[in-house]
Structure 1
Amino acid sequence: MSDPSSFDAFEQAMQGLSHRLSSRGTMREAVIARLFQHTGARLNDYLDAPFKPHGLNATSWTSLVVIYASKDRRLKPSELSVFMNSSRMNSTRVARQLERHGLTRRVADQTDGRQLFLEITRKGIAFVENQLPLRRRHLEQAFDGFAPEEVDQLQRLLRKLLTNLE
């Protein structure tokens, strides 16, 4: 886990700028925005770490779980793109990665052979079922030290920010 003071240098620089410009209000939001970027980068690394030994990342894991949880454990690539809030090109890249690892396969629709589905394989099902409890513990560790009410509050605040940004 990284040193929590790794953000201090930026924050000190912003405080100095704030004093020079006498604009503490806007600097507060700038610090918060940069803190989100800093935290987001660390969070991405943290979420990817358990999957790196398997040649995957958090995006491919989430895609696999979405397929696993879908009706008949299969999805059209376009549906995966919508679920992942991702471009079709990125979803195609992820789908190919999952196929290369033998976790999914492409299958034709029985009623329309032009339509393809991404279907989870037995190997993919076993991988998801093995990793789910490990993933849950990994996520819980990220929030270790937070009271349940703090986690709830963080979720509400992040949703509110997301709404403002949409």
Structure 2
Amino acid sequence: MEDFYLYDSPSINKLRNLKKEYTNLDITSVLTYFEIQKAYKNIKLNHDSLFQKFELSESKFTIMMLLSYEKDMILSPSDLSQKIGSKKSTISGVLKGLEKQNWIKRVKVSKDNRTNYVQLTSEGLNKLEEFLPYNYELVSNIFSGFSEEEKEQLYFLANKLKINLEKDDFL
């Protein structure tokens, strides 16, 4: 199913009228929510476009980066799914695609013969090294209109938002 995206956010006047009916409506929170949603959508569109130029996807890139952080660039699929917060079955399809592109390979680790581990190949590492300068340039460009102080403040506020969303009693 395709995601819907609201380009035409409600105006302050529309929200003021709605507040008469829905007294718990916090106008500033709703406006902020829509701006964050629009920013996220634009970031994702730009990043996805960059991924495509390098035959990557967000999930492939994430797995390759996680592998690159490890000693010998090896992890089990279970470890990857835990680090990503996704089901092992979801990771399996991505791993198959990475393996087909020869960016990872399956390996046995002598101390655990029950599990196939995955390892980033030299081709996979080369792909990361080719991609990363463009990735970091894109990220820098996203925040180019911000001062260092504003970026630090945004980082603090985004982290605060993330923590609030992770609360057990959120809903």
Q: Which category describes the TM-score, using the shorter chain as reference length?
A: 0.7 to 0.9
Percent of pairs identical after alignment?
Answer: 25
Contact 2:67 2:119 in 1 (8 A): yes
Distance 1:51 1:63 in 2: 14
Q: Which has the higher contact order (CA 8 A, sep 6+)?
A: 2
Matches within 5 A, 1:64-143: 64-143=64-143
Deviations 1:123-154 (A, max 9, x none): 00111122222211111011111111111111
Distance 2:82 2:156 in 1: 23
The residue that corresponds to 2:36 in the other structure is 36
CA deviation profile, 1:37-91 (whole Å, cap 9, x unmatched)? 2222222122222121333212211211110111111111111112222222222
* Distance in 2 between residues matched to 1:42 and 1:16, nearest whole Å: 24
Unaligned runs of 5+ in 2: 1-5, 167-171
Does the CA contact (< 8 Å) of 1:49 and 1:57 recur in 2? no
Normalised by the length of structure 2, the TM-score is 0.82
Residue 108 of structure 2 contacts residue 116 of structure 2 at CA under 8 Å; is this kept in 1? yes
Partner of 1:3: none
Checking the alignment, whether the CA contact within 8 Å between 2:103 and 2:124 is kept in structure 1 is yes
| Moved segments of 4+, more than 6 Å | none
1:36 counterpart letter in structure 2: I
Q: Judge which range, 15-24 or 90-99, deviates more.
A: 15-24
Q: In structure 1, the residue corresponding to 2:105 is in which secondary structure? A: strand
Greater helix share, structure number: 1
Q: Distance in 1 between matches of 2:94 and 2:53?
A: 17
Structure 1: tracts of 5 or more residues without a match: 1-5
Count of aligned pairs between the two proteins: 159
The aligned residue for residue 19 of structure 1 is: 17
Query: In the alignment, is the contact (CA less than 8 A) between 2:19 and 2:25 conserved in 1?
Result: no
The equivalent residue for 1:150 is 150
